[in-house]
């Protein structure tokens, strides 16, 4: 049990944009079936980490392995084919295509025949609760629905690891609650999830572990409750140690 | 829809029985440009990669099959596929450069125009192509040499080309390639994140499109029997190819055909009535005005507009 190969193994990952060291010597692992959150203040480098993992940025240094296989230097589509799917923080639906056609694009990654891909896309839309909007153009959806669509498209590629970039941002309390349930259900089907999230209530209730980064470096890692009380984390968020409390874990 | 398409095809097949020879030539014009528009539509419409140099493929297909027929004695019926293949190689080169180095929007437009211009200048200076004087094919009227006494043959050839290209576009649309091209057109990065190898599929679209366009070059050569680098490789021909699908609706199956049915007669009329007495090129003004109107009032093109009118009425 002790030496099981991690699903994702990140070692010494670094990325610099001009004068900005966006990610610095970042290391972490994800075990199969976990939900882990990546948190940190704005500009901490979280989205850059997603960009590096999914092949949109090429790291300056370090190693990324998915089930032991290196992802460094692979194109995003090849990484998706290996089972790592991501959503975008700023949702990017194909606005003129129907909701179904949007999800079908993801499904085609696993099933090249269109009728079968469409059937799979329908099933995914049922799962995320967008089935009634299937025929509508994606551009006509509300923000909450677009976030679901973003999730559905990634899910349709049948990933083993799903990277969710702020899928709750901008949602009201009820919508957030529903998407938390959805993420839990997706995880229940055996998909490992790495979340970037600012909604602390969701982070605390969903995650098995939390990784906190600031200025591109890991500053804390552990159980949600431990991390929330870590003085370095509090300092990163509030700049004033000892004064306040991050996001308040449900007591 | 299927029955309407079948009825339309049957009407077009029967039409030469009642057409005057002048109208016959107008229809040849319509079909040929619908065919070129449809071939362009695969990369320019479905994949959303705006090639403004498609004349290069017509020119290459035309010169290759003409020279093969005149110097080597290869029948244009085979030469057309050789011409298509050579055009596809050029399409692959342009596509490779453009897509590998991520040229988008205007940069890709410029790349395609540049290649067409290089072809035009090169062909205008080569001996084997007849240089700037052009290349002439002697008329024999022999069908084996793709020459016909009866214009109805040209009518059926261009009709076949149009239907063939439309069939290819239909296949593209229905397969994974079509779904992927639509995704690339909408948001290439998001498509990549969903496992779409954008480079590969854009290149595929470019190769199919340039092959078909190159095949059309054979018809151009053996219908006109004379090839001038400035007309067959020129920017005006590229514009003629692009404007029909844009007016009719890019990325739709019937857009290029509808666009050609609107624009080709218009071009013919203005050429006919305004072409003499210092008014040559007046059809370009008509194009310009029409294009402005389309962009202003029905930017998605005439076909999607008509479709929404029809479905709106049947719903209401």
pLDDT digits (tens, 9 = 90+) for B172-222: 999 999 999 999 999 999 999 999 999 999 999 999 999 999 999 999 999
pLDDT of residue B309: 84
**Whether A109 contacts A157, CB under 8 Å:** yes
Q: How far is CA A209 from CA A37, A45, A180, in A?
A: 7, 18, 16
Of B173, B181, B195, B200, which to mutate for an interface test with A (greatest number of A Cβ within 10 Å)? B195
Percentages of chain B per state (helix, strand, coil), in multiples of 5: 80, 0, 20
Nearest CA in chain B to A96: B186
Residues in chain A predicted with pLDDT less than 50, given as ranges, are 1-2, 241-245, 247-251
Say if A117 is an interface residue toward chain B (CB within 8 Å). Answer: yes
Q: Is B160 helix (H, G, I), strand (E, B) or coil?
A: helix
Asked if B194 lies within 8 A of A105 by C-beta distance, the reply is yes
pLDDT surpasses 90 at B58: yes
Q: Tell me the shortest Cα–Cα distance from B88 to chain A, in angstroms.
A: 25
Q: At what angle do helices B21-40 and B198-224 cross, to 10 degrees?
A: 160
Give CA–CA dist B98/A192, Å, rounded: 37
How many CB atoms are located within 10 Å of the residue B185 CB? Answer: 20
pLDDT of residue A1: 46
Interface of B with A in 187-246 (CB under 8 A): 187, 189-198
Give CA–CA dist B56/B61, Å, rounded: 9
Question: Which residues of chain A does B195 touch, with a Cβ-Cβ cutoff of 8 Å?
Answer: 77, 80-81, 106, 108-109, 157
Asked if A97 lies within 8 A of B192 by C-beta distance, the reply is no
Give CA–CA dist A61/B102, Å, rounded: 24
Of A108, A112, A149, A151, which to mutate for an interface test with B (greatest number of B Cβ within 10 Å)? A108
Q: Is B35 helix (H, G, I), strand (E, B) or coil?
A: helix
Give CA–CA dist B223/B215, Å, rounded: 13
pLDDT of residue A59: 95
Question: Which residues of chain A does B174 touch, with a Cβ-Cβ cutoff of 8 Å?
Answer: 114
pLDDT of residue B316: 36
Question: Which residues of chain A does B99 touch, with a Cβ-Cβ cutoff of 8 Å?
Answer: none
- Which of B182, B186, B194 faces A109 most closely, judged by CB atoms? B194
Token digits of residue A18: 């001009």
pLDDT surpasses 80 at B244: yes
pLDDT of residue A243: 47
- Which of B175, B176, B186 faces A97 most closely, judged by CB atoms? B186
The neighbouring-strand residues paired with B226 are B136
**Residue A161: which H helix or E strand, with range?**
strand A161-165
Asked if B179 lies within 8 A of A114 by C-beta distance, the reply is yes
- Which of B176, B190, B192 faces A114 most closely, judged by CB atoms? B176
Report the Cα A55 to chain-centroid distance in Å. Answer: 14
Alpha-carbon torsion angle B267, B270, B275, B280, nearest 10: -70
Give CA–CA dist A128/A135, Å, rounded: 15
How many CB atoms are located within 10 Å of the residue B277 CB? Answer: 6
- Which of A78, A86, A92 faces B187 most closely, judged by CB atoms? A92
**Whether A204 contacts A246, CB under 8 Å:** no
For residue B60, which phi and psi values (nearest 5 degrees)? -65, -45
Say if A106 is an interface residue toward chain B (CB within 8 Å). Answer: yes
**Whether A10 contacts A53, CB under 8 Å:** yes
- Average pLDDT of span B223-240: 92
Lowest mean pLDDT among B100-104, B172-176, B268-272, B275-279: B275-279
Q: How far is CA B167 from CA B5, B41, B84, B163, B174, in A?
A: 12, 12, 17, 6, 11
């Amino acid at each position: 049990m002790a030496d099981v190969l991690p699903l994702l193994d990140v070692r010494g990952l670094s990325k610099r944009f001009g004068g900005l060291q966006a990610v610095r010597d970042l290391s972490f692992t994800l075990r199969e079936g976990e939900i882990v959150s990546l948190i940190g203040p704005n500009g901490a480098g979280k989205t850059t980490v997603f960009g590096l993992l999914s092949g949109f940025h090429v790291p300056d240094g370090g190693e990324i392995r998915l089930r032991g296989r290196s992802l460094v230097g692979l194109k995003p589509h090849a990484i998706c084919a290996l089972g790592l799917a991501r959503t975008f923080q700023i949702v990017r639906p194909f606005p003129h295509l129907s909701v179904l056609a949007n999800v079908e694009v993801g499904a085609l990654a696993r099933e090249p025949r269109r009728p079968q891909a469409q059937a799979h896309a329908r099933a995914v839309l049922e799962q995320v609760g967008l089935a009634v909007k299937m025929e509508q153009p994606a551009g006509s959806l509300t923000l909450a629905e677009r976030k679901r669509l973003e999730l559905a498209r990634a899910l349709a590629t049948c990933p083993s690891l799903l990277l969710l970039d702020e899928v709750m941002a901008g949602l009201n309390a009820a919508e957030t609650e529903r998407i938390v349930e959805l993420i839990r259900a997706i995880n229940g089907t055996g998909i490992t999830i790495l979340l970037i999230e600012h909604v602390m209530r969701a982070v605390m209730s969903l995650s098995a572990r939390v990784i906190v980064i600031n200025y591109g470096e890991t500053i804390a890692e552990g159980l949600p409750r431990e991390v929330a009380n870590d003085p370095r984390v509090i300092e990163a968020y509030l700049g004033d140690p000892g004064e306040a409390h991050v996001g308040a874990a449900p007591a | 829809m299927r029955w309407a398409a079948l009825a339309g095809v049957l009407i077009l097949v029967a039409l030469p029985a009642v057409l005057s020879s002048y109208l016959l030539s107008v229809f040849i014009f319509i079909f040929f440009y619908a065919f070129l528009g449809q071939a362009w539509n695969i990369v320019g419409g479905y994949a959303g990669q705006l090639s403004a140099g498609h004349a290069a493929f017509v020119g290459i297909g035309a010169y290759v099959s003409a020279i093969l027929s005149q110097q080597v004695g290869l029948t244009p019926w085979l030469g057309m596929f050789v011409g298509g293949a050579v055009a596809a190689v050029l399409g692959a080169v342009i596509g490779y450069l453009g897509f590998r180095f991520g040229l988008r929007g205007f940069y890709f437009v410029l790349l395609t125009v540049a290649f067409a211009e290089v072809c035009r200048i090169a062909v205008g200076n080569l001996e084997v192509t007849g240089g700037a004087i052009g290349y002439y094919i002697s008329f024999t009227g022999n069908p084996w040499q793709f020459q016909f006494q009866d214009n109805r043959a040209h009518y059926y050839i261009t009709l076949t080309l149009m239907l063939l290209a439309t069939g290819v576009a239909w296949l593209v649309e229905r397969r994974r390639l079509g779904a992927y091209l639509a995704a690339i057109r909408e948001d290439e990065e998001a498509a990549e994140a969903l496992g779409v190898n954008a480079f590969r599929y854009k290149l595929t679209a470019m190769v199919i499109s340039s092959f078909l366009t190159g095949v059309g070059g054979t018809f151009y050569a053996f219908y006109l029997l004379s090839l001038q680098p400035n007309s067959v490789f020129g920017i005006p021909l590229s514009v003629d190819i692009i404007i029909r699908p844009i007016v009719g609706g890019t990325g739709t199956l019937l857009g290029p055909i509808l666009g050609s049915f609107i624009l080709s007669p218009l071009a013919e009329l203005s050429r006919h009535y305004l072409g003499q007495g210092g008014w040559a090129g007046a059809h370009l003004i008509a194009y310009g005005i029409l294009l402005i109107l389309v962009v202003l009032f029905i930017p998605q093109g005439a076909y999607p507009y008509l479709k929404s009118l029809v479905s709106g009425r049947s719903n209401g």
